[in-house]
Amino acid sequence: MVGTTNRIGIAAIDATTGIATSWNANSDGVMRTVTVSGSTIYVGGYFTTIGGQSRSSIAALNATTGNATDWSANTDLSGVLSIVLRGQDLLIGGEFWSIKNTPHSYFSVIPDSSMTLSGVYGIKYRTFTASEFGANINQKPMKRPYFPNTANVIQETYKKFPLAPIIVGKAFVYNNEGKLLAYIQPKAYTDVLKTFNKSGVTHTGTARGLDFDKKSAPLLKRWVTLDVTKHDNTLVANLLALKVNIVASDTGVTPNGLADLLYNEGSGNPLSGKSISEIADYAGDLMTNWRYLPLATFANLDTTIAKINAAFSGVFDTTQWIVGSKLVVKGTRELGKISFLQPNTSSFRHRVIPVSPEDVLPSSYSLEQNYPNPFNPTTTIQFELGQNSLVTLKIYNILGQEVATLLDRDELYEGQREVMFNGKELASGIYFYRLVAESIDDEGESSTEPFVQVKKMVLLK
């Protein structure tokens, strides 16, 4: 009731007299929000009939007559609490589960004119399976102008996030004996590829924690690569694939926001309700802390993670892949078409601002003075690598005779490195340490003349 005039939910009032006009939308419920776009009034609330038409929770009314237009959002029978006009789009919020017969929970973005779906359920994401990453044809990145493959995806994520962003397991966990428990942290994209595929063989073994190697010895320490010849475990491959998918999305190689999506298969799966990033972290924790856990726990993790990896798998296509451009991969499938994944309305979409390697890594090579110097009997030798390199580090006596080899063409990731030298078997005197670093390209081949430098140190007992 407005004054003495019967109106339900919405009314037009004369701005001068305060009396209700003859305009009447004839609603059967309560209005919660109103916004105007030209000659159209968009209303939302709790109603099933308005303007002479059947409408659920949201409607477009003719501003002159109050009649409902042909525009219809077809929501479920819940409430719309907020409508905001943004350009040609309507931002809709409220208590609903579908718009235009497509799942949309609590929030949607709807084009004002056509009502074609967009918004969170309309976003297309991209994922890759462990089988795709491990396929023999995908073990070497393609070079332009040839079309890229999944190895290019891994390579691009490491270019954008060069500081070893992928961990399978939980880092820096020690057992009661003070030994570092096992986890995998590849230093370069090539290490990721080696874990997926070793000489054409991929992981097919029982899903479990990082328990024992092929010789039944306990797995300990950080592993840069853990291929099938050392430890055969499908969960290693599937979790590694998920971590690559997350980092690729975070860095914009694939559509952003994958990590925040919620997994939901109902109460039958204990992982339901967790975000993809939470599932990845949880799986990593259990893989390192695997003791006393049943194999069924790891089997469920393996099945669930493999399902997530396959959710947005499909035809490989790009939006950027021309000479001089970075790789950007297109999404394949809308979120609304994946029954077990939902948007996370309580979380902002993950995004990592790509860091240029030049900002965090040295642009040239250098060999530092060992410390302490003089030393007895141990000292640290520190050096910087401007690129991924094959590194040789040897110790010589004053006669030029080789007395120790610390590194012998070891492949090391670019950045600052240090090596401990123990001279307990040597006599006091002057020694020299010589560093040879051969920079390598993305295919592991030497690409320039090696960096060579020699420094003197003194062993004083």
For 136, residues 6+ apart whose C-beta sits below 8 A from its C-beta are 197, 200
Question: pLDDT tens, 82-139?
Answer: 777 665 566 777 765 555 555 544 455 454 443 333 456 778 899 999 999 999 999 9
Average model confidence (pLDDT) across the chain: 83
Residue 248 has pLDDT above 80, yes or no: yes
Residue 181 has pLDDT above 50, yes or no: yes
pLDDT of residue 112: 43
The percent of residues above 90 in pLDDT, for the chain, comes to: 44
Mean pLDDT of 5-18: 79
Strand partners, 391: 410, 437
Domain 30-116 carries which CATH code? 2.40.10
Of the candidates 110, 95, 117, 98, which has an alpha carbon nearest to the alpha carbon of residue 35?
Answer: 110
Which has the higher per-residue pLDDT, 141 or 2?
Answer: 141
Residue 430 has pLDDT above 60, yes or no: yes
Beta strand pairing status for 222-223 and 183-184?
parallel
Strand partners, 461: none
| pLDDT tier, 23 (very low <50, low <70, confident <90, very high otherwise) | confident
234-250 and 150-160 are packed helices; what angle lies between their axes, rounded to 10 degrees?
60
Q: Which CA distances in Å does 182 have to 9, 176, 245, 249, 286? A: 63, 14, 22, 26, 11
Of the candidates 148, 150, 147, which has an alpha carbon nearest to the alpha carbon of residue 131?
Answer: 150
- Other CB atoms within a 10 A radius of the CB of residue 456 amount to 12
**Residue length of the chain:** 461
Question: pLDDT tens, 295-304?
Answer: 999 999 999 9
| pLDDT tier, 34 (very low <50, low <70, confident <90, very high otherwise) | confident
Which has the higher per-residue pLDDT, 244 or 11?
Answer: 244
- Other CB atoms within a 10 A radius of the CB of residue 49 amount to 16
Tokens of 197: 């595929």
Second-level CATH architecture of 361-459: Sandwich (2.60)
For 287, residues 6+ apart whose C-beta sits below 8 A from its C-beta are 168, 169, 170, 183, 209, 210, 235, 236, 239, 298
pLDDT of residue 1: 63
The residue assigned the tokens 């024992």 is: 212
- Cα dihedral across residues 41, 42, 47, 49: positive or negative: positive
Question: pLDDT tens, 346-405?
Answer: 554 455 545 444 444 445 788 999 989 999 999 999 888 877 888 999 999 988 899 999
Fold: same for 30-116 and 361-459:
no
Q: Residue 323: enclosing H or E segment and its boundaries?
A: none
Whole-number Å distance between alpha carbons of 41 and 36: 5
Which has the higher per-residue pLDDT, 47 or 355?
Answer: 47
Mean pLDDT of 275-293: 95
Residue 174 DSSP one-character state: B
For 197, residues 6+ apart whose C-beta sits below 8 A from its C-beta are 134, 135, 136, 139, 227
For residues 367 and 417, the answer to whether their CB atoms sit within 8 Å is: no
Mean pLDDT of 219-224: 90
For 15, residues 6+ apart whose C-beta sits below 8 A from its C-beta are none
Rg (CA), the chain: 31
Residue 208 has pLDDT above 80, yes or no: yes
Domain ranges of the chain: 30-116, 130-342, 361-459
